[in-house]
A and B are shown apart, each in its own frame.
Chain A
Amino acid sequence: MRMLKSAIAKSGVTAAALLLGLLGSAEAGKKDDTIRFAYEQVPESIDPYFNNVRIGVILGQLAWDTLIHRDPISNEYKGQMAKSWKWLDDKTIEFELREGIKFHNGEEFDADDVVYTMNFVSKAENKVVTQTNVNWIAGAEKVDKFKVRIKLKRNFPAAIEYLAGPVVIHPNEYYEKAGPKGMNEKPVGSGPYKIVEHIAGKSVKLVANPDYHKDLGKGVPKIKNLEIRFLPDRQTQVAEVMAENLDFIMGVPVDQALGLKAVPHLTVQEGETMRIVFINFNTLENGPEPALRDVRVRQAIAHAVPREQMVKELVGEKARIINAVCFPTQFGCDDSKAPRYAYDPAKARALMKDAGYGGDKKITVDIYAYRERNQSEAMIGALRSIGITANLKFMQYAAMREQIRAGKVAMAHQTWGSFSVNDVSASTPVYFKFLADDTARDPEVRDLLEKGDSSVDPATRKEAYAKALGLIQERALAVPLYSLTTHYVANGALKFETYPDEIPRFWEMTWK
């Protein structure tokens, strides 16, 4: 039913797009200097610590700031609310804070804000939704009005990346009084946009913060107003953007995006995302498919998947082939030691024969997936060509993960977005460091990843990760495939750039 709905809707959108070819002026949002943006998910709260959806991350960047800022082009870390920082030891970072920053309610920013925020979010009883963002923080202490130390619970070099992403700073006086509930209702940050209205489940209205500190890395927004609506249905979003009631939508499926290219008042742009796709195996002794314990079978599978062709025909031109289970820009994602598995069905069949399969001895396996069904089906076709019959088990993510963790999944079509954290510690270890989703449990790989995760020396980290990634591929514990792309559809008058972390920089956008 859902597929039928989707198919009919997509064809309807394409037809309507062609029908409307001559309509539209692209001036709607420009006239009142307002970007109207819609997103499909509704955040449970717009306090960045109390939701785990992407729109929450986007709002976090719009209305709040962080101590550190990562340049999205160079990936270089720069100070944002902090002027500078240094590691005092493996578990302590000292920050010198920038003076002259004001929150939207006029409260002055200083060390008390950092101390209060860090101490609040690090306490498990305060129930921050995404614990991985904060569970490394032990607390913070004030050195003086503009100097603060953050203490870590364990060696965690990726702290810098988290402090440049999800760990925003709240104004201590307001947050102490309002709490997460008050912050959701009347949010106060320091970011380039101020939230002036939040109607739960419906919309958020923001206006440019004219007093935004010039050294904070984002800059004063060029476009004054931003309206965000939560529209759950993708087809409705498309209709709204075609009717010029919206200026910006994202995550549009490729076939619909192609159809919308025919509408002259719209711009369609493809952008790479940090979400990577890979095939994950259960190679454990008690795994559901004994054949996958044989490295030759796993290598055969790696050689059987036509990654280039899939990228070209199913994924998008901005996608890139990956050779390790991490996103290429992530710190430590060095695939130089990882062997390559080129598309070579003949070699794959030879490996299968070498492993004792072929003729009457065939492999039948279930492949679990939760998104990009067409890609799963393409993989199944490729596996069939080397004598593996794969049956697709398509389900929701939570259900699939439950099955994986129960050890019932031999092979999964996995994707991972790393929460836009540009550090390998947010990707590879999730699947190979003996955590709940690790179905290979290779102690050598685990130790190397642990070394990379816990050392504060960048060179040591890089080397450890490179070795781990090399071993994972040498042993074919997973088949890395490609990064995913997403499509943005916008008012033709809007000038914007796309970034792999899928955070639209509304403060950078201008009207043409």
Chain B
Amino acid sequence: MLGYCLKRLGTAFLVALFVSVLSFVLLRMSGDIAIAIAGEGAQSADIELVRKTYGLDRPLIVQYLDWLGQAARGNFGESLYFKSPVMGIIADKIGTTIILSLTSLAFALAIGIPLGVLSAVYQGGLVDRISLAVAVTGQALPNFFFALVLIMLFSVKLRWLPVSGSGTWAHFVLPTIALGYYITPPFMRIVRAGMVDALEMDFVRTARAKGLSKARVVLKHALSNALVPVVALAGVQLGLLLGGSIVIETIFALDGLGYLAYQSITHKDFPVTQAILLMLSVAYVLLTLTADLINAWIDPRISVR
């Protein structure tokens, strides 16, 4: 087990390193950072001043290694745009993203699991078809469009919920639904598949033969088996949510990590972009590792190799 954990942590390190190199190269390929920072109308002398001030006149490899060396010591430098320490900026924003990710995950589980169970129990029936429609719609509908529809209905027409901001819990309702709905289908499908398999297994048949109620058979015996892969999936989806809420955070003006990532890419603020990508890639790998370990703990038959 310890060896497995160390191996996965090593993988996390390599993934993070690879992501940081990739993001550094892509950001540099997208144009001259000094020109972007200097702004519209800046002349060559202004751009050269920016280049020198920010150390952008050094060879790329030197810039990267310098950044990496500092990052290894926990210093992610200063934002080129906001002129303040990167870690301070990230610390200010990460809370919003974590709240949004967790509420969205909870929403997806709250909708996905019951729908998955119902569609397995009533396989081929109306409930199954409705659930399928919900799943297909969730995956096919672009989340920005769904978000705008929610805003128009609940904020503009009915005036029940605020359009944007993050001041109260009410501000998180629409973003949670918009983001959570998008990741609901995978949960629904995996629960349905697991339930269909479980309902045909001997132990479920035995439970039925013992005269247990249908609800008890489904919820206690079958569902506990079907939920095992949900844990792993939740870990993966949470990782995606942490990094994948850029559009939703922008639409709802939630001042989180996703919006910060968008801003930093727009302003070619590479210290911020690098730090966010590094953190997210590490978080993603660690979350999948945690999910695997929890899986092994829930179901001892799964051996961790």
Contact = CB atoms under 8 A, between A and B. Distances in A.
Contacts of B82: 44-45, 200-201
A73 interface: no
For chain B, which range describes its interface: under 10, 10 to 19, 20 to 34, or 35 or more residues? Answer: 35 or more
Given A131-B49, A233-B251, A396-B31, A239 B145 contact: no
A181 B78 CA distance: 14
Interface string A15-47: 010011001000000000000000000101100
Nearest to B30: A399
Interface in B142-199: 142, 144-145, 148-149, 151-152, 155-157, 159, 162-165
11 contacts: A12-B152, A132-B46, A233-B253, A236-B251, A239-B151, A239-B163, A240-B163, A243-B155, A243-B159, A401-B35, A416-B41
B250 A131 contact: no
Interface in B249-281: 250-253, 255, 259, 262-263, 267-268
Interface residues of A, number: 50
Contacts of B44: 405, 435-436
A398 B43 contact: no
Given A132-B43, A236-B252, A239-B156, A245 B163 contact: yes
B83 interface: yes
A52 interface: yes
A235 B157 contact: no
Nearest to A180: B83
A52 B144 CA distance: 29
Interface in A389-419: 396-399, 401-402, 405, 416-417, 419
Given A232-B259, A235-B148, A20 B46 contact: no
A340 B53 CA distance: 46
B253 A239 contact: no
B145 A435 contact: no
B134 to A, nearest CB: 21
Contacts of B35: 398, 401-402
Closest A-B pairs by Cβ, 8 of them: A52-B39, A398-B36, A399-B31, A131-B46, A16-B152, A243-B156, A239-B151, A436-B44
A209 to B, nearest CB: 27
B42 interface: yes
Candidate in B30, B36, B152, B250 with the most chain A CB atoms within 10 angstroms? B152
Contact of B53 (A5, A45, A127, A232): A127
A136 interface: no
B155 A239 contact: yes
Nearest to A242: B156
A9 B251 CA distance: 11
B32 interface: yes
A418 to B, nearest CB: 8
Nearest to B262: A232
Contacts of B83: 44-45, 50, 181
Nearest to B36: A398
A196 interface: no
Nearest to B260: A201
A398 B49 contact: no
B253 A231 contact: yes
B66 interface: no
